[in-house]
Structure 1
């Protein structure tokens, strides 16, 4: 007899979260849905069969098949009446979840047939093995690492060539954008300026930067300026006005307001705290 398992996590990693995972040995005709989820749930069918419905299309699936419940999509799935399926699943979310999944062809139909001795299945077993471990901050980091590995195997087995080429272009533009930001943080740098230097549409640059980092390019520029100002406050004797100018602010008052909004203390208070 196979015991069903279920584990749910309460964590708040911004890029990628593992929300829950488990194993289900379904009774005949057991069904779930129709429903909409706020995360992604990957299933691997170990044995038996059933039907999976998404985008109003019904597909029969069996052992060795994979299906995914996408975020915000209506799905329905039901075990067969004679040979009900057993499956292992992992639910996850985060700002990078969708962009990572889109690098896999699995997202086109939301189901596929896996290879024999699939790395995906072995990795899913590694994940649910954490059910036997005491949950600690260290284990949380480990399991997020295992989730990244699972998604890497998913892309490896079911690559989306077009998406990966696009992703490679994104990486190239990101590298160039970051180089510009770290070179010109001491100027009143605008997103439009970076877009013009890269010969990109401003909205497109904003979109790919957000997808890759989980934050807006405007927020990233400010973060770089604020971190550099902290270094100058601690390791130099420059005045606040001079530091403001050194990180691209023409108005010292605007700099002080931005600094306090970021760190909840004024630049002078920060300097005194770190003396």
Structure 2
């Protein structure tokens, strides 16, 4: 491609439909200021920065990434990224699908609200990306290549977990009682669908439990009720949007985190943080400005 110093991509010609399957993998070094997006994919895409710098943006939040950083793009979530003007990054990437992708990432604390991890030692991940690319490039039997690639991807997930060890959500994916597994599913659903109109009735129907029983078990497993958990996710996301690089109105932020009524959103935000959204934004900017001076 004429927008890269170098680029190489290998595709999985026979990706399986199941738990976890690689779609393609590659490596590249783009030109300065090379931009992708704003876009939306229907698959997961992970980039690990090998050298240089760039900026990754998701949900209106910017992350300055450099060597050792890995950033995650999620299905149906708006994103963009751009190479630095003076020291453009080089990176390796892998794209994948599968119904185990979301719970595995959540287990490691990787979500659209926490989409960047860091490793001081890139050798394990770098070697795995190389092996992934070779597997797809030289496979004499595509069906077997898919098996090997998905196995390598699981090892990569393990390395992502090591990088993000301080934010692991659950201790393991071991066999757990059915209700606990369902509660973890509810946590995942609320963590990703917080921008939608959600009620405890919706969640109860989705999981097949009476709302009272679900609320009781959710609190037993997580320490809070489903709606308290949803409020926490929404308020944390709203706080990020308020201090992000893109200036969104209070109405836009309210809508982005699932509130049709901006006034009600503001009341909830004040109740959570002690300040109205506009006051929080003003205070943050003053503090940020004073630190820079």
Normalised by the size of structure 2, how large is the TM-score? 0.55
Task: Tell me, yes or no, if structure 1 residue 7 matches structure 2 residue 10.
Answer: yes
CA–CA separation in structure 1 for the residues paired with 2:58 and 2:165: 21
Match of 2:163 among 157, 162, 169: 157
1:109 is paired with a residue of what secondary structure?
coil
- Over residues 32-74 of structure 1, what are the superposed CA-to-partner deviations in whole Å (9 max), with x where a residue is unaligned? 0001111111100111111111110112111111111111110
| Cα distance in structure 2, aligned partners of 1:93 and 1:100 | 12
Does the residue aligned with 1:164 lie in a helix, a strand or coil? coil
Quick check: 1:145 aligned with 2:148?
no
Residue 176 of structure 1 and its aligned partner are, at CA, apart by 11
Corresponding residue for residue 89 of structure 2: 85
In 2, Cα distance between the equivalents of 1:110 and 1:174? 29
Q: Report how far residue 129 of structure 1 moved.
A: 2.0
**Per the alignment, in what secondary structure is the counterpart of residue 91 of structure 1?**
strand
Cα distance change on mapping 1:143 and 1:83 into 2, 3 Å: same
Q: Of residues 117, 128, 135 in structure 1, which corresponds to 2:133? A: 128
Gaps of 5+ in 1: 178-194, 206-275
- Number of corresponding residues: 183
Instruction: Specify the SS of the correspondent of 1:33.
Output: strand
1:39 and 1:91 in contact (8 A); partners too: yes
Aligned positions of 1:1-275 closer than 5 A: 3-9=6-12, 10-107=14-111, 108-136=113-141, 137-159=143-165, 163-165=169-171, 167-168=173-174, 171-174=175-178, 201=214
Residues 117 and 163 of structure 2 are in contact (CA less than 8 Å); yes or no, is this contact kept in structure 1?
no
Q: Distance in 1 between matches of 2:51 and 2:62?
A: 19
Q: Distance in 2 between matches of 1:2 and 1:100?
A: 34
Q: Offset at 1:149?
A: 1.1
Deviation (angstroms), 1:175: 11
- Is contact 2:38–2:80 with CA below 8 Å preserved after alignment? yes
Pair member with larger Rg:
1
- Equivalent position SS for 1:37: coil
Deviation digits for residues 179-224 of structure 1, max 9, x if unmatched? xxxxxxxxxxxxxxxx99xxx759x89xxxxxxxxxxxxxxxxxxx
